[in-house]
Amino acid sequence: MSLLDRLCQAPQPWIAFCAYRDLTDRPLDDPVVAALWKAMDADEKLMAFRQEASRWPGTVLNSHKSANQTFHKMVFLADLGFDETDPLIALGLKAMRAARNEQGWITLPVKSASGESPDVQRRGWALCDVPVLLYVLAKMGLDGLNEVRQGALNVAALAESFGVSCAVSPAHGGFRGPGKRTEPCPYATLVSLKLWQLYPDLAESPAAHAAREALLSLWDHSRERHPYMFFMGTDFRKLTAPFVWYDILHVAEVLSWDAGVRKDPRFLDMMAVIRNKADAEGMYAPEVSARAWAEWEFGSVGVPSLWLTLSVERIERRLREPHLGEHR
């Protein structure tokens, strides 16, 4: 059985659906693909995430890196294809819209400041969550791209020639990340680029070009450059799913959306590191796993994963067939 057949015949309907959608030319109304979508709709794990999305923002955690954040789970659902035609998703998006500020950015609850009454409701934003939340709304909203466009432009307005630096709202007090204002925050740069690439014009903007160059340059100088304490060493190079934080597969996924980057020697070097992790059958196994996703198909370290393999194969198809339109 070919690797493609294995992916399309995965026992998990969400893996099989995405394999057909992203690796073949079958339309979404194909009977097989449509049946897989129906099975996804009944999947218990996905239903639990959709119910959590309906209660957005849920419990907002201190760490943006936490894979248990509701907005990271919503990114996963958005990339699977769920949108606000689902009543549960619609509830979550309604709450997100109500939390937008004058910049078009979705704010999150912020813990009360020292000495402040815990009853005081404060909301704020940081450039490590704004692009992620806008990405969710852009992909899940029925008119999401138009709705989010101004917010995406306002993120681009903060970009520098070296990428996206750390920035937070006044609600966060004097906090800022552990880096210089003249260097990029690698994660904020990554998720901002991910957002901009949903728009053909923003994908070719100076901000997007600067973000791509920042990520490629950081890879090229990974031994000596570690802005905001983001390293591209051993841990960065471990394969993991889903796309939550700053790791090699997430960076390669976002960079691979650009046809020019696919020819860049630095990107090809990154892909060589990833390919070297395949087993004899072309499968990839997680090298680290988040506790929040331990029960998922990709949640066991060292066990070959169809989802992780599909994540690599999507990039490989872009490299093989650059004329294809992107699924974003």
Q: Over the stretch 266-285, which tens digit does the pLDDT of each residue have?
A: 999 999 999 999 999 999 99
**319 and 253 inside one domain:** yes
118 is a domain residue: yes
Distance CA(218)–CA(226), nearest Å, equals 8
Residues 87 and 186 in one domain: yes
Please provide residue 39's backbone torsions phi and psi, each rounded to the nearest 5 degrees.
Answer: -70, -35
Please give the tally of structural domains in the chain.
2
Same domain? 135 vs 252: no
Say if 316 falls within a structural domain: yes
Domain check: are 197 and 107 in the same one? Answer: yes
Q: Decide if 7 is inside a domain.
A: no
User: Is 225 part of any domain?
Assistant: no
Residues 173, 246 share a domain: no
- Final residue in a domain of this structure, among 201, 220, 244: 201
> Residues 270-306, buried b or exposed e (16+ Cβ, 10 A)?
bbeebeebbeeebbbbbbebbeebeebbbbeeeebbb
Q: Can you read off the two tokens belonging to residue 264?
A: 């860049």
Q: Are residues 77 and 157 in the same domain?
A: yes
Supply the pLDDT for residue 180: 64
Query: How high is the pLDDT of residue 328?
Result: 45
Q: What is the pLDDT of residues 249-261, one digit of tens each?
A: 999 999 999 999 9
What gap in Å lies between CA 173 and CA 138, rounded to an integer? 29
The verdict on 90 and 182 lying in the same domain is yes
Whether residue 238 sits in one domain with residue 191: no
Low-confidence ranges of the chain (pLDDT < 70): 61-65, 112-121, 172-180, 182, 227-229, 323-328
Q: State which residues form the domain around 76.
A: 68-201
Residue 115, pLDDT score: 47
